[in-house]
Amino acid sequence: MKISEVTGIFQQAIDQYHLTDSVNVDVANPYPAGSIEHLLFLKSWVDTVQWHLEDIIRDPKIDPVAALAIKRRIDSSNQQRTDLVEYVDSWVLEQYKDVKPLPAANFNTESPAWAIDRLSILALKIYHMEIEATRTDATVEHRASCQQKLNVLLVQRTDLTTAIQQLLEDIAEGRKFMKVYKQMKMYNDESLNPILYQHNK
C-alpha cells in the first residue's frame, strides 16, 4: 500500500461528498467490499460527513431537538470511525504477518491506521482551508491568513505521508513491528457507561 494512493482515495471521497454537500446522502463506494480501498474510501466518507455535522451542530440558532439528534449521529460516527481504523490496522497486520522482526526492532506509539486517520482529517482541513483562502466574498486579510494556514497544512501532509510510508517500509523490512490496542470506548457500551446501565435497571 502506497500512501500516495491513500491520499488519492481520500480526495476522491471528499470530492464525491461535495457533489451534493449533504450529510444525508448515502455513500456510493466505488471499490469492492472487503478491499482496503473500500475501507479507506468509507473511512474518508464517514470523516467528511462528521466534519459537516460538527459544523451544523454549532449553528447558534439550531433547534435543540435537532441538535440532540445530530449529537447522537456524531457519537455513532465516532464509533464507526474507530471501528474502521481497527479494520485498517487488521488489514496491515495481515499483510505483514509473515515478517520476522529484527532483533533491534521496536514499535511506534501510534499504529499505521491511526496515523492514516490523522491523514484523513488533514485532507479535510486542506480542502476547506483552500476554500477559505480563495473566497471572493472574504476580506484580503482573511484570505491571506487562510493561505498561510493552508501552506502549513500542505507541509504537514508531506511530512505525515513521508512518515507513514517510512513506517510501513520499516514494518515490511522487520525494523519495526506493530502493536495494536483496541480502543475499548466506554461511552457507547451499555455495560460500561454508568448512565446507561443505571438507566436500564
What is the rounded (10 degree) CA torsion for 33, 35, 36, 42?
A: -10
How far is the C-alpha of 27 from the C-alpha of 25, rounded, in Å?
7
User: Helix 3-17 and helix 112-133: axis angle, to 10°?
Assistant: 50
Overall size of the chain counted in residues: 201
Per the structure, the complete domain to which residue 33 belongs is given by 3-199
Among 155, 181, 176, 156, residue whose Cα is nearest residue 166: 176
The pLDDT value recorded for residue 180 is 77
Evaluate if residue 175 carries a pLDDT over 80.
Answer: yes
- The number of folded domains in the chain is 1
Q: What are phi and psi of 176, to 5 degrees?
A: -135, 155
- Transcribe 85-102 into DSSP letters: HHHHHHHHHHHTTTPPPP
Q: What is the pLDDT of residues 2-26, one digit of tens each?
A: 899 999 999 999 999 999 999 999 9
**Predicted confidence band of residue 105 (pLDDT cuts 50, 70, 90):** very high
Evaluate if residue 200 carries a pLDDT over 70.
Answer: no
Q: Which residue has the cell 461511552?
A: 187
| Segment (H or E) for 188 | none
Q: What is the pLDDT of residues 131-171, one digit of tens each?
A: 999 999 999 999 999 999 999 999 999 999 999 999 999 99
Count other C-beta atoms under 10 Å from residue 63's C-beta. Answer: 9
Q: What is the pLDDT of residues 79-98, one digit of tens each?
A: 999 999 999 999 999 999 99
**Predicted confidence band of residue 184 (pLDDT cuts 50, 70, 90):** low
Q: Which residue has the cell 515490511?
A: 172
Average pLDDT of every residue of the chain: 92
The pLDDT value recorded for residue 197 is 58
The pLDDT value recorded for residue 11 is 98
**Predicted confidence band of residue 183 (pLDDT cuts 50, 70, 90):** low
Evaluate if residue 199 carries a pLDDT over 70.
Answer: no
Tell me the β-bridge partners of 176: 106
Q: What is the pLDDT of residues 18-50, one digit of tens each?
A: 999 999 999 999 999 999 999 999 999 999 999
**C-beta of residue 132 within 8 angstroms of C-beta of residue 80:** no
Query: How many secondary structure helices (H) and strands (E) does the chain include?
Result: 6, 0
Helices (H), the chain: 3-17, 36-57, 64-95, 112-133, 140-172, 194-199
Evaluate if residue 1 carries a pLDDT over 90.
Answer: no
User: What does pTM read for this prediction?
Assistant: 0.90
The pLDDT value recorded for residue 137 is 96
How far is the C-alpha of 1 from the C-alpha of 80, rounded, in Å?
23
